[in-house]
Chain A
Amino acid sequence: MNIIVCIKQVPDTAEIRINPETNTLMREGVPSIINPFDLHAIEAAIQIREQHGGKVVVLTMGPPQAETSLREAISMGADEAVLLSDRAFAGSDTWATSYTLAQAIKKLGADIVFCGKQAIDGDTAQVGPETAEFLNIPHISYIRKIEEVKDDYIKVERLMDEGYDIVESTLPVLLTVVRELNQPRMPSLKGKMAAKKAEIKKMGMADIEADENSLGLKGSPTQVKNIFAPEVKAERKIIEGTPDEQVDILIKELKEIRCL
């Protein structure tokens, strides 16, 4: 069973603050991490390999420093790592990113492709399904449990509003995973050694036989027009005093709006 896990290196967005004076993001010192949902995708892939054999390849598209995330995935137990990096990929939106990933996956070959349900910086949840479309394979989003895997068949639980679906599919298939699926393992000592020595395969535009007009900013249908800080409501009222006084004033206000 050949399994590819698409991962993304993201800034730990929980650590990002906005500079109140300039309204810009303060990235200084913000660590880069593997997108948290992707850790669950890596874990799921390793578990399937442990039961059915085969290999787990982690794939990422990003700048050269994304190599750190690939090595981290190897330390968890992935067998191989591929870095898709080329200046021509810069500025890709979800369409161009999915096209690029799909071109690489076609070259590498896979029975199952895993993605996290979304990346915490973009939060679009689009790259998984779009990649499946470019690969012309089925996909199942938001899977929370893998019930059965056979050579050409898979049965999973898909999280929906107010419950879950039990869905089956033929292979190859692309799956996007939610956190409930599993608990990602910590890197082992052996894994860490392997990660240090591992050779990271690098692929660029020419290696994936991509159409240049479908890559990067040029290939992206969407454009960012501008970025701005959200509006501020003007009507705020700060309640001063000791905790006792503050609570009394708040209760009075709550009574006035008939909340009490």
Chain B
Amino acid sequence: MPVIVQVEKCSGCETCLDSCPFDAIEFKDGKAYINEYCNACMSCLAGCPEGAIIETEKSVQRSAFSNQLKDYKDVMVFAEQKDGKVVSVSYELLGVGRRLSDELGANLLAALFGAGEPEAQELIRWGADKVLLCSDSALEQFNDDPYSEVLAKIINEYKPSIVLAGATPVGRSFIPRVAARLRTGLTADCTSLEIDKETKNLLQVRPAFGGNIMATILCPDYRPQMATVRPRVMKKGEYHADRTGEIININIGNAVSRTRVLDFIKEVSGVSVNLHEADIIVAGGRGIGGEKGYKMLEELAEALGGAVGASRAAVDEGWIPYSHQVGQTGKTVNPKVYFACGISGAVQHLVGMQSSDIIIAINKNPEAPIFNVATYGIVGDMFEIIPLLTRKIREVKNL
């Protein structure tokens, strides 16, 4: 185990039990013992008044790489494009990237593949200092092999300290390959990125353990520090039409790919568009109890002119299709009003909707964590409240 208890120092006081978020400490014969649930979060080290819990590999020089860390300075954003147009998560990454690079006193670089100079200029107006532009037609369509090859090459040459990419199907597919190749850490789906004031390391916050709790992740001994961010989690930066920067053309040579995309078939589900654009979302969780509950939500959504969302629990039960799912593994939304009906409020759901302007929670259980983020809370039976609400809204709107 990464953490051990020095049995001779353990007084058996059980204070450490509360410090462990994973239930990984047990007591046997009056002494603490770390079980296999340990996630190496080190929370227990400070939780022991006797100092009996220690990290086992602390003294080991973790990386032969550490003397090269200082060579890595800038912040780089991978700017994804689709059909030659930069996708919006890239502008959101430039927003956070600009803030981080200003704090570090470094440049903000953007890597753009398979698009042209006008799009590169646009990245500069959104905050990039330099765009590394690879306009080769072989990169117009996404393929893992050439994308991994070219991005790894650019990173090795420009040595950014931080690399950010969108947690889209494209980013989630090839960015891990790049991290594996560069022998560095990658943190998925970050909800907050900050610079540690003392060490200048990147503090990467993401939901952990099925989204039940938040974790701060570090990559202290390897570079670059790589992170993905889901669309719509970060706000776009400032756009300055007169901002200038440098465009550097990158030649990729001969890019080979072992996979080939034969065709793209568009399947726009009306639902996903609605969820992102809706001002009002009516979402249901385990409490809706079945497909009948889903019908009830649809009626309320229709009366309000909104869209229907769902928690992971309701989707896993098969009551609502996955395309409606809101949360860490579904969509991130920020409507004006979000109705959470029969949703308990696991962190994994909250991270997908807590930036909504107004949150209305309806739940039987007054202890449900959803009430902690709710603007208005109604403790009660949703099967009574929602039909009543739908009826009265229809009356108000003369529907």
Residues on A lying within 8 angstroms of B by beta carbon are: 11, 13-14, 16, 18, 20, 22-28, 36, 63, 65, 87, 90-91, 93-95, 98-99, 118, 120-130, 132-134, 137-142, 155, 158-170, 173, 179, 216-218, 220-230, 232-233, 235-239, 243-244, 246-248, 250-251, 253-255, 257, 259-260
Contact = CB atoms under 8 A, between A and B. Distances in A.
B203 interface: yes
Listed residue (A121, A164, A167, A216) with the most chain B CB atoms within 10 angstroms of its CB = A167
Contacts of B211: 13, 123
Given A16-B210, A248-B392, A250-B376, A226 B144 contact: no
Given A217-B2, A247-B388, A224 B57 contact: no
Contacts of A170: 258
Contact of A221 (B219, B257, B347): B219
B182 to A, nearest CB: 9
Interface string B183-196: 11111110000000
A123 B328 contact: yes
B156 interface: no
A8 to B, nearest CB: 13
A91 B40 contact: yes
B213 A227 contact: yes
A18 B268 contact: no
A179 B321 CA distance: 12
B9 interface: no
A226 B265 contact: no
B262 A24 contact: no
Contacts of A221: 63, 183-185, 219, 221-222
B18 A227 contact: no
Contacts of B217: 222-225
Contacts of A126: 172, 176, 179, 186, 188
Given A134-B180, A167-B262, A168-B262, 4 more contacts: A121-B209, A129-B173, A170-B258, A224-B42
Which 8 A-B pairs rank lowest in CB-CB distance, beginning with the nearest?
A13-B210, A221-B185, A222-B185, A138-B258, A133-B180, A129-B176, A124-B188, A130-B180
A248 B63 CA distance: 63
Contacts of B183: 95, 221
Given A120-B210, A217-B57, A221-B185, A142 B379 contact: no
A224 B312 CA distance: 25
Given A18-B369, A95-B186, A247-B388, A123 B210 contact: yes
Contact of A239 (B260, B313, B378, B392): B378
Q: Which of A160, A164, A220 has the most CB of B within 10 A?
A: A160
Nearest to B269: A162
Contacts of B21: 23-25, 227
Given A18-B369, A179-B322, A217-B2, A24 B23 contact: yes
A209 B60 CA distance: 21
A224 B187 CA distance: 11
A63 B210 contact: no
Given A235-B375, A259-B304, A164 B264 contact: yes
A113 B61 CA distance: 34
Given A27-B22, A126-B188, A260-B397, A239 B265 contact: no
A24 B210 contact: no
Nearest to B266: A163
Nearest to A119: B210
Contacts of B144: 129, 138-141
B384 interface: yes
A218 B43 CA distance: 18
Contacts of B329: 118, 123
B198 interface: no
A31 B318 CA distance: 20
A246 B203 CA distance: 43
B181 interface: yes
A28 B176 CA distance: 33
A249 to B, nearest CB: 9
Q: How large, as a class, is the contact surface on chain B? A: 35 or more
Interface in B343-399: 347-348, 350-351, 354, 358, 360, 367, 369, 371-381, 384-385, 388-389, 392-393, 396-397
B36 interface: yes
B157 interface: no
A162 B267 contact: yes
A238 B376 CA distance: 6
Given A125-B188, A224-B39, A14 B376 contact: no
A162 B354 CA distance: 24
A14 B210 contact: yes
A20 B371 CA distance: 13
A137 B369 CA distance: 44
A99 B184 CA distance: 12
B241 interface: no
B216 A225 contact: yes
Contact of A161 (B169, B260, B347, B348): B169
Contacts of A226: 41-43, 215-216
Contacts of A93: 185
Interface in B76-125: none
Nearest to A156: B259
Contacts of A246: 378, 380, 385
A246 B369 CA distance: 20
Contact of B18 (A22, A122, A155, A244): A22
A232 B172 contact: no
22 contacts: A11-B210, A13-B209, A16-B209, A36-B316, A87-B1, A91-B2, A123-B189, A138-B144, A141-B173, A167-B261, A173-B259, A218-B57, A223-B220, A224-B41, A225-B217, A226-B216, A227-B21, A227-B215, A237-B375, A239-B377, A247-B392, A259-B280
B11 interface: no
B37 interface: yes
Nearest to A90: B1
